[in-house]
Structure 1
Amino acid sequence: MNQIIDNFVTSLKQHQFDTAERYFTDDLAEAYPSSKLESDWIRLTETLGEFNSVETVRTQDADPYQIRNVELQFDDGQQTLRIVFSGGDESISGLQYISQQRGTTVLPEYVDESRFSCEQVVVGSDEYPLSGEIALPTAEEPYPGVVLVHGSGPHDMDCSLESYKPFRDLGYGLASQTIGTLRYNKRTYSYDLNENECTVDNLVLDDAVNAVNQIANRKDISEVFVIGHSLGGMLAPAIIRRSNAQGGILLAANARRLEDVVIDQYRTLADEGAVDASQLRSLEGEYQQIRNRDWNDDVELLEFPVSFWDSLSDYEPVQTASDLNVPVRIAQGKRDAQISTEKDFEVWKSELKSEDGVSFRLFDDLNHLFVEEDENGHSGQPQANVADDLIQWVSNWCTTVR
């Protein structure tokens, strides 16, 4: 498999795109022909310069697929290329360029480290203690506090994704605006859970509720808000309902059932040639199993254990948010390729617009991570940090809502 990857990347480097296509399954070759391989590679080298080498190959298998995330090093940056093999076949069945690497070790300009200090904390249960960090403003106490809740996947406290660190940007940006922020490593980042443990309570809710209640007990915190991103945004109403939070902000949160979002993402990947027709047919079958709750306990469906889907089966995010008697804000980036403006954000608006204390914001040029993008998916920022507009919008609300 690694030899195939080496040969494939070498063909790209040498501009032998017809040769590169020969490593594809028939379905992928039809969806992603050599002409598209060429145009994508040329555009990539125009942005990042000459290709140099493969830095690393990371394994991310999801039976029956063997996934390899290949880090490509160019003169002016890195790019992750996801290559998928299926069922032991030595032909490539899926191909996708993942978000472009941009060094984000430099803090964004809106972060003023003189205005806050950081304290290392432990959150979670005695069984699953989690490392965390609270950024505390140097301003006069008390001040509002927020807890940042991750999306799906085993995220660290910065919610690091490729070279992005959106929770670090949010945490330090809000602390610079006199808002205490608590971030923590997600349980699946710190521990290996067996499939039966992968319920929504174990993966998200229990630790988030503990984090909210922990920060709420501090004398330097006046009120606490939940800020949930993606899956964390969808579950934010449940976290607020179970905790001492006085409100919350839902960022890039789906209003639909999660399985509807996931299958739509796979359909988009199929349209782009990253998932072949046979893979999509299999995934559509898994989707129907989830919808019909027709499953065996020992399988994964759409890359999640059955225990996860079962624990979500009765959860209705919009209705749960409607039943809350606290202020809520809902925001999305118009360039979000994962959560739909029409199917999610507009549903939140239409269903909750008459509720007291609920407000909405659609950011025109921001993506799923609330980083600025143009219509071609390229960031206008050298470091690709969370946009200052979002920081100001969140901080203004947290310091004025009552």
Structure 2
Amino acid sequence: MRILFIVLLSVIYSCQGVSQTMEGRWKGDLEASGKKIPLLFAISKENNWTVKMKSPSQAQMDFNMDSVSVNGDSIFIKSSALGLSFAGKLQESGEAIVGKYSQRGFTAPLTLTRYEGEKAERRTQQPMNPLPYESKQVAFTNDRDEVRLAGTMTQPAQPGKYPAVILVSGSGPQNRNSEVFGHKPFEVIADYLTRKGIVVLRYDDRGVAESTGSFVKSNIGDFSRDAMAALSFIKRQDKVDSTRLGIIGHSEGGLISLLLAGQHIPDLKFAVSLAGPSVAIDSLMVLQLYHVGKSQGMSEADLSQARTINRKNFEIVKSEIPAPEALNQLMKNTGALTGTSEELRKEFQVMVLEPYRYFLRIDPVPFIRRINIPLLAVFGEKDIQVPAIENQASLSANLPANAQSRIKTYPSLNHLMQPAKTGALDEYYEIETTIEPQLLEDISKWILGMKN
């Protein structure tokens, strides 16, 4: 699942001192677990001092610091929501701020230096105007949940009836382009498929951008109903051939495509799962944490110990134990490795929220065994979030035979379906390619070759 958390910060600025020399753009590399994490800061002063921070290798959004204090050549900034702070001192040259960065118990030195601005990321597949197809801003409603979903529908300009797909995003609040790390994979997919003669609908998740509702209070069942509302909407469009209507889901969206296909949704005629989990979710999370830890250089002894603790943690979370008792058990189970702390308790509080517990209880295997429509399932050999070996094996063992179904693992792709060297999370931002071109071609050929 995509590791991305979008936090709404309250903005409360304080101001001490009158120095203007702090103003400007600053950058520094934070060293953690043997890796360098670039951090960017924009410091400005109008009536009050304000600071925005970005970690471009992790997320493409600015975080407003909710406390900023400047006194002479010293600055202190803090984000309560992110649990981080930075205290630094401007050097005599005015070209560096030397200080200490802290976040949730982690502390490290951090030196910031001035820079002119961010380099524009090379995203070579980004669609450019003019487009050879029609693009419409649309909205539809999930009537059961009273949620209005806003999106973009792209369709061939020529008259006719065409196959159509909806795009369903992975975990975390996503806009209609599934935008992450400067990439817009759903816009790239929509552009490619529409040029090939396929109608595509992509939409903002509930509670995101122009869609109503609450994301944080929703679970995968709610998101599945949003997908069904999208199917119902696109089915009614003039240029859509309702006998060739499908879903393309990535990661958690791929899981949704498997769940809906296994429930025999009437409007759904085919499904595409891109890095979709095909094993029980609690088992997937244990696998995911193992592979992520390994990519970050953890020893096999530490990985083995962590896996035992994680497996027990997920058993607790997926159980019916009331949340307060589950939280206490998580703290007790993990304390032997990490010691207990208030920060750890805050992390575990997220795990005992009902939407996460609902997600962790899901086992897609019974749904996979009931799929009776063509399925294209794709995995990346370098995916460390939905590891290919275990997930492809489960899907292959449980998917009913269908002459049009295909299961394929691409040898060099990561979780975002990019050509990767290692599959590590910090590569996502660095890779110029948004999605492997051969995969786009394979998806379009499979859809257009579908037989009723």
Same fold flag (TM > 0.5): yes
Q: Tell me what 2:219 maps to.
A: 199
CA deviations 1:311-332 (Å, max 9, x no partner) are: 4466432331331221111001
Q: Tell me what 1:166 maps to.
A: 185
Residue 245 of structure 1, CA deviation? 1.2
Q: Tell me what 2:141 maps to.
A: 124
Contact 2:413 2:419 in 1 (8 A): yes
Residue 382 of structure 1, CA deviation? 7.0
Letter in 2 for 1:214: F
Contact 2:371 2:400 in 1 (8 A): no
Contact 1:123 1:184 in 2 (8 A): no
Q: Tell me what 1:176 maps to.
A: 195
Q: Tell me what 2:337 maps to.
A: none
Cα distance in 2 for residues equivalent to 1:249 and 1:338: 18
How do 1:356-395 residues align onto structure 2 when only pairs under 5 Å count?
356-375=403-422, 383-395=432-444
CA deviations 1:192-236 (Å, max 9, x no partner) are: 6386x423222x111100001111122311121100110111121
Letter in 1 for 2:121: G
Q: Tell me what 2:275 maps to.
A: 252
Q: Tell me what 1:4 maps to.
A: none
Q: Tell me what 2:70 maps to.
A: none
Structure 1 residue matching 2:208: 3-state secondary structure = helix
Q: Tell me what 2:378 maps to.
A: 331
Cα distance in 1 for residues equivalent to 2:140 and 2:84: 33
Q: Tell me what 1:136 maps to.
A: 155
Q: Residue 242 of structure 1 is aligned with which of 265, 276, 279?
A: 265
Q: Answer yes or no: is 1:224 the counterpart of 2:245.
A: yes
Structure 1 unmatched ranges of 5 or more: 1-9, 14-19, 22-27, 45-50, 71-82, 93-100
TM-score normalised to the size of structure 1?
Answer: 0.70
Q: Tell me what 1:343 maps to.
A: 390
Moved more, 338-347 or 235-244: 235-244
Structure 2 residue matching 1:368: 3-state secondary structure = coil
Q: Tell me what 2:45 maps to.
A: none
Moved more, 290-299 or 348-357: 290-299
CA deviations 1:282-336 (Å, max 9, x no partner) are: 7555312124333427978584554224544664323313312211110011121
Cα distance in 2 for residues equivalent to 1:282 and 1:66: 25
Structure 2 unmatched ranges of 5 or more: 1-25, 43-52, 55-62, 66-79, 87-100, 109-118, 328-346
Q: Tell me what 2:368 maps to.
A: 321
Identity of aligned residues (%): 17
Cα distance in 1 for residues equivalent to 2:420 and 2:83: 27
Contact 2:416 2:435 in 1 (8 A): yes
Moved more, 335-344 or 234-243: 234-243
Cα distance in 2 for residues equivalent to 1:291 and 1:172: 39
Number of aligned residues: 337
Cα distance in 1 for residues equivalent to 2:129 and 2:409: 27
Q: Tell me what 1:152 maps to.
A: 171
Cα distance in 2 for residues equivalent to 1:160 and 1:270: 25
Cα distance in 2 for residues equivalent to 1:84 and 1:262: 27
Rg larger for? 2
Letter in 1 for 2:134: S
Alpha-carbon distance change, 189 to 304 in structure 1, aligned in 2, over 3 angstroms? farther
Residue 143 of structure 1, CA deviation? 0.7
Cα distance in 1 for residues equivalent to 2:83 and 2:306: 13
TM-score normalised to the size of structure 2?
Answer: 0.63
Cα distance in 1 for residues equivalent to 2:129 and 2:408: 26
Alpha-carbon distance change, 302 to 256 in structure 1, aligned in 2, over 3 angstroms? farther
